[in-house]
Structure 1
Amino acid sequence: MRGITSLGLAVLRLLAERPQHPYEMRQRMREEGLDRIIKVTHGALYHTVEALTKAEYVRGVETTKEGRRPERTVYAITDAGREVALDRLRGLLSTPAPEYPGYCAALAFMSLLPMEDAAGQLEQRCVLLEAELAASQTGYDALVKRGLPPVALVEMRYMQAHLRADLDLTRSLVDDIRAGRLRWQPVPGGTEQEVDR
């Protein structure tokens, strides 16, 4: 297993606390709000645990069966798993990595739309960002109220900062288009080309 994914890192962190089975890990991720930053599906979680087991970063320590339910294997982190998790975490914390969000690409090609259409789409984005920011704050407040320590919530603060920055930029783009500071002219053939930025 070359690189540890975010989901793999989450699994290793949870297992560093105590041995667990995947169902319990998924519940803990929900309780801690990790499912807001990491896509956690049943299949992806089991695939990740399987890959971590194959790489010898985790190992099954016990298998239980209750009634008609399928067997559940409880996993624990290995020394190699702890080491790779710490190395990966150090790299993620210390080294900025380029991200290629779709919004950045859309902004690069925004001049294909008529200005009024682009402004309308950006206004719609503002509405959705405001709702997402409000939902994130509500989730954050609920986790604080449940007593989660601040260190367990720093990723939510990071996400909220990005949402605020996205919202601020998007609002300023709408303002610039509406005020005529950001303009582009139609190009023959029905497309438009930016002339001012």
Structure 2
Amino acid sequence: MDVADPTWSDERLVAAAREGDAESLAALVTNAHPHVRRFARTLCATPEDAEDAAQEALIVLYRKIGTLRATGALASWMFRVIRNECVRRARLALRPVPPAGESLVPSAEDEMFRRLEGARVAAAIAALPADQRRVLVMRDVQGLSGRMVASTLGLSMPAMKSRLHRARAVVHRRLSEPVGDGDDG
């Protein structure tokens, strides 16, 4: 099935699925699957995350097709679901794991700041171009060696290092920007 193939999200098929037609819904999920997987692979850091994100998107499609407002918006809706799932998975990978047997309960204020900072980091990473994002997540989040990242992505070591350097610089610059007006008066 071609990416430019408009029949996978044919408006009549989508409309029938929205109305509860089981055959149309099954056809829609089947037709969307290759496109969803392909898009997830470009956004998620690992093939496993991409498969999980694609599956999650298809589950959302199956369960919530009736909530779709415009039949022509299916592709953008699906891709937004995938993007959000890939970002969620990147955030989980960034979350520190407490040492075994230690259950520290942070204060509500500490938890709020941690979540805000995590959201800022995830947003900065998600805003990177796909080629830089993949290198950064694989190297800095997943901790893969530079050689492994380069090999997995089919890059030379200098190309991988260059993308990683650019990605780190952009993320650092975004995180160094002021969050906003924090003054209460």
> TM exceeds 0.5?
no
> Which structure dedicates a bigger proportion of its chain to strand?
1
CA radius of gyration, larger in:
1
